Amino acid sequence: MASRPSRLVGRDDVVAALRSRLSAVVDGGPGMVTVHGVAGVGRTALLDELAEAHDGPVLRARAADWETGCAYGVLSQLVGDEVAGDAFAAARQLVESVVDGSDAPTLVLVDDAHVADAASLHALDTAVAHHPRAAMLVVFSARRTEEPGPHDVRLGGLTAPQVAELAAASGRALGDLAAERLRRHTGGIPRHVLALLDEVPDEQWADPYVRLPAPAAVAAVVRPTLEACSPGAAAIVAAVAALGEAAELHEVASVAGLDHDREDVFGPLDEAARAGLVNRAGGRRGPMATTPDPMVRAAVLDHIGPARAAAVRCRAAEVVTDPARSLRYRAAATPGRDDALAGHLDTQAARAAANGAWSAVAALLADAARLTPAAELREERLVRSVDALVGAGEVRDAGAMLPAVESAPESPLREAVLGYLAVNRGHAAEARSRLDRAWKLVDALADPNTAAMIATRHVLDALARGHGGDLVRWADRVAGLAVPGAPAAVEAAVVRPLGTAASGRLVEAAEEYRAVAASIPHGPQTQRVTMGRGWLDVVGDDVDEARFALASAVPNAPLGGSSRISLWALGWLARARFLCGEWRLALSVVDQGRALATRTGIVLATPLLEWTAAQIHAMRGDRDRAEEAMLRGEAGPLDYEVMRIPSLLARAQVAEIGADHARVVRRLEPLTRLPPDGTVGEPGWWPWADAYANALVVLGRTGEADAFLRPHEELAASRGHRSTQARLGYARGRWHGATGDVDAARTAFETALGHLDGLPLRYDRARIGLAFGQTLRHTGRRREADPVLLEAREQFEALGSVVHVGRCDRELRAGTREDRDEPGGGPELTPQESAVTDLVAGGLTNREVAAELHVTIKTVQYHLTRVYTKLGVRSRSELAARRRA
């Protein structure tokens, strides 16, 4: 089959998978797959792409709802003739039409299969089930169903970058914020995206406040549907649209002017739901109602007109009990400036900030800025709104507001906000410059609140740089400036324990977190405490507790927390799940984190996420996906240590898994030049020292390895950090084995394994076991090596590390007590010669063989020379041919 890139935006993976399925039917027999998706998602375009790309026969039909009751209506389109008889006869007729002597398989496409007649569907199913030699793939396109088959494909909405790509393909350039807003509004459905790109004037896309209408096609459906509703149902729809979010049923009824205590409110609500204008749901607050999507909401508000929409919102402001919601409804109903209302919004924003509800703060201040008559105060409120967006983790939205912030006069607040945004974008030099400038500009005595806010941003910068001492110093400055309980004081307090831990005082850090948690028993700020404590638990080897804490910190963003904190929680949760052997769940967490990072525009945690993904894929033997993960982790700036270190670790550990120890040294050598007083040298933060030392040993640089290991071993012992002592013991055991002291090596490995007792670190245990077994075998202790290697093999197999299972198998084969006989009664090879022969015949270089067997290159050359002599061959190609004979 011809291979060419798909013209469909965001569907390359689906197209590739379907083409692969089509190729497989040649040898594997016929197949059937259904592509599910909502109207407008691109199901028909996908079938067009498949048909155009296929070199063989294509049979195509489209079902129609008026033909649903017509037997064989779809099948007759496929075979080009009338169809009669039962399903078996009809299936034979179809199969006969696809067997035309073509070397390529037949592609059978059925569009809108959800309204296809039952007889045709039965015949197609029979053809696939009862004609195993028919080389055909049946692809159905259907609306979304509740029970897709195991091989079915779901088409979802496009991501924001894909929306931008689709816009570019249609000749329009969208910024990040515009693409994300369009995705949210349309659900990423290509049909609606393209419609709005045509219907909204080009100049409006640059306005971050532009109100997106419903596509004309959606409005054309909503308008007559709403007009056909009874007055009560229409009032319900208008109320739900004005409320703009999932609203409690009593709120909806009150805003609609209905008596929510009477049962007749359910009649209009059911009518609105049946019309597709309202969705009913249940929540922790009871029955809820909302619009199906933002497009329906926009269409309803446009239809009722601005005057009625304002009146309904004013009514909503009187009904709801939450002060922030009430003020925002009043703001939405106010078309011009209103200084008093802007002041109330600002005051409410301060209350929300005290609870760490930064999404609410950003929305309230944005409304306040729009309503503020005075230009200087309007600019200040807008800048503070952007700061709150960053605090909420909405970095993409905040970045879109960058021109407005940069155009404001220089001030401590402006520089602090720009520095805060730079931190979350990973731009360390800009962040440091902006924050230093802000600190120079601020008068801490006259404006302690702004000074405290700037110091808090320095706290985050120090955390990203891995400097525990700087972090603690800035956090203490915040405590001296901010009123206890103020947002800056709370944020600095929840980060300070990580600085304490980065300075080597883990127990003290845990005590700090207990005190902070007691002072913040509830509210959005608890997300920060929970995430920070989970991070500390990962560092401190309490992985079980870390999984619980981090998992509970993830979902708090929709409840008023921060997407930024959720993203960090996901990064460390993936790491915790990896460490305890839950690799499938770890990859699921990574996928969740990737989606959140893409939506929010936060890059700071991406290398942490991709480090875990790359390591797992490499151990599973999937080099392509490991490489993809590493490239994603390197896509942004790597200025901060919290980004650079996991990126280097990903490269180094993938290289270690591939037995490329020279590359391990090259990747990790930059870490030896970082200041030792940061997290890079502190036990528990970044596990790199053992990999670096081990690579030095394997490369024969034992003197360097010893000198490097000693200070790390001493620090880990003084800190009492068990997993670090275990990992360094792994490297020390290798070192003793390489220097010929097998008894010391055994002691080092056994001590290392002892450090892991009671810890759920399954991968570390298996890794140490493999190194222990290899060392025993290479020093002639084969009988002792076998049970150690077998146990390591079982552990790696349970984890799914096919690479290490293969390595264990090679060691076990090489260590067998019975020498292998060559075919035909040839000369016998020693176990080590046999292992070298297998690897060389498999295409590995001498350096790669040495790395794989953990011996020197000279040792490989020695064994290879003896093998050539024994077998009477003169080259690697002759050796490979002899092995295959």
Predicted confidence (pLDDT) per residue in 192-234, tens digit: 999 999 999 988 887 767 789 999 999 999 999 999 999 999 9
* DSSP symbol at 205: G
SS3 category, 4: coil
Res. 4 pLDDT band, cuts 50 70 90 = very low
The pLDDT, as a whole number, for residue 836 is 79
**pLDDT, average across residues 236-263:** 85
Q: How far apart are CA 459 and CA 441, in angstroms?
A: 18
Rg of the chain on CA atoms, in Å: 33
- Pairing mode, if any, of strands 136-142 and 31-36? parallel
CATH 1.10.10.10 boundaries in the chain:
216-321, 831-884
Pick the CATH number of 831-884 from 1.10.10.10, 3.40.50.2300, 3.40.50.300, 3.90.1150.10: 1.10.10.10
**pLDDT, average across residues 548-577:** 85
In DSSP terms, 35 is beta-bridged to 141, 153
Between the alpha carbon of residue 432 and those of residues 48, 185, 478, 684, the distances in Å are 52, 36, 17, 27
Q: State which H helix or E strand residue 279 sits in.
A: strand 279-283
Is the pLDDT confidence value at 557 over 60? no
The pLDDT, as a whole number, for residue 7 is 60
Cβ atoms of 764 and 756 closer than 8 Å: yes
Structure tokens at 878: 């002759």
Distance from the Cα of residue 557 to its chain's centroid: 16
> What percentage of the chain carries pLDDT values higher than 70?
93
Is the pLDDT confidence value at 378 over 80? yes
Predicted confidence (pLDDT) per residue in 771-794, tens digit: 999 899 888 788 888 899 999 999
Predicted confidence (pLDDT) per residue in 595-653, tens digit: 999 888 889 999 999 999 999 999 999 999 999 999 999 988 899 999 999 999 999 99
Is the pLDDT confidence value at 147 over 70? no
Q: How far apart are CA 6 and CA 11, in angstroms?
A: 7
Residue 736: closest CA among 721, 751, 755, 719? 751
Q: What superfamily does domain 687-814 belong to in CATH? A: Tetratricopeptide repeat domain (1.25.40.10)
Structure tokens at 263: 């049962």
Report the alpha-carbon angle 45-49-50, nearest 5. Answer: 120
Is the pLDDT confidence value at 818 over 70? no
The pLDDT, as a whole number, for residue 150 is 60
Backbone angles phi, psi at 35, to 5 degrees: -100, 115
In DSSP terms, 110 is beta-bridged to 61, 140
* DSSP symbol at 281: E
Q: What superfamily does domain 12-154 belong to in CATH? A: P-loop containing nucleotide triphosphate hydrolases (3.40.50.300)
The pLDDT, as a whole number, for residue 847 is 74
Report the alpha-carbon angle 612-618-622, nearest 5. Answer: 120
Structure tokens at 885: 């004979």
Res. 584 pLDDT band, cuts 50 70 90 = very high
Res. 821 pLDDT band, cuts 50 70 90 = very low
Cα-Cα end-to-end distance for the chain? 34
The pLDDT, as a whole number, for residue 6 is 45
Cβ atoms of 346 and 370 closer than 8 Å: no
Q: How far apart are CA 176 and CA 598, in angstroms?
A: 10
The pLDDT, as a whole number, for residue 824 is 45
Q: How much is the mean pLDDT over the chain?
A: 88
Res. 589 pLDDT band, cuts 50 70 90 = very high
For 243-247, which contacts have Cβ atoms below 8 Å and span 24 or more sequence positions? Answer: 243/316, 243/320, 244/297, 245/290, 246/281, 246/283, 246/288, 246/289, 246/290, 247/288, 247/289, 247/290
Predicted confidence (pLDDT) per residue in 338-349, tens digit: 999 999 999 999
Class (C level, CATH) for 216-321? mainly alpha
Residue 763: closest CA among 815, 690, 697, 825? 690
Cβ atoms of 883 and 841 closer than 8 Å: yes
Q: Is the whole-model pTM more than 0.85?
A: no
Is the pLDDT confidence value at 575 over 90? yes
3-state helix, strand and coil shares in percent for the chain, rounded to the nearest 5:
70, 5, 25
**pLDDT, average across residues 441-450:** 95
The pLDDT, as a whole number, for residue 325 is 92
Predicted confidence (pLDDT) per residue in 117-144, tens digit: 999 999 999 999 999 888 899 999 998 6
Cβ atoms of 860 and 833 closer than 8 Å: no
CATH architecture of the domain with residue range 410-521: Alpha Horseshoe (1.25)
Distance from the Cα of residue 838 to its chain's centroid: 40
Is the pLDDT confidence value at 415 over 80? yes
Structure tokens at 872: 């009477």
Structure tokens at 446: 């006259």
User: How many CB atoms sit inside 10 A of residue 670's CB?
Assistant: 12
Res. 823 pLDDT band, cuts 50 70 90 = very low
Res. 5 pLDDT band, cuts 50 70 90 = very low
**pLDDT, average across residues 246-250:** 86
CATH 1.25.40.10 boundaries in the chain:
410-521, 687-814
Predicted confidence (pLDDT) per residue in 448-492, tens digit: 999 999 999 999 999 999 999 999 999 999 999 999 888 899 889
**pLDDT, average across residues 565-578:** 95
Is the pLDDT confidence value at 75 over 60? yes
Cβ atoms of 573 and 589 closer than 8 Å: yes
The pLDDT, as a whole number, for residue 245 is 81
Is the pLDDT confidence value at 13 over 50? yes
Between the alpha carbon of residue 126 and those of residues 104, 123, 132, 138, the distances in Å are 22, 5, 11, 12
Res. 260 pLDDT band, cuts 50 70 90 = low
* DSSP symbol at 206: G
Predicted confidence (pLDDT) per residue in 505-523, tens digit: 999 999 999 999 888 867 7
Q: How far apart are CA 725 and CA 690, in angstroms?
A: 9
- Pairing mode, if any, of strands 136-142 and 106-111? parallel
Cβ atoms of 501 and 719 closer than 8 Å: no
The pLDDT, as a whole number, for residue 534 is 95
Is the pLDDT confidence value at 501 over 50? yes
Cβ atoms of 778 and 737 closer than 8 Å: yes
Is the pLDDT confidence value at 524 over 80? no
Highest average pLDDT, of 42-56, 201-215, 575-589, 845-859, comes from 575-589
The pLDDT, as a whole number, for residue 822 is 44
Q: How far apart are CA 405 and CA 386, in angstroms?
A: 8
Burial class (CB in 10 A: 0-12, 13-18, 19+), 284: exposed
| Strands in 428-585 per DSSP E | none
Predicted confidence (pLDDT) per residue in 154-193, tens digit: 888 998 889 999 999 888 888 877 888 899 899 999 999 9
SS3 category, 756: coil
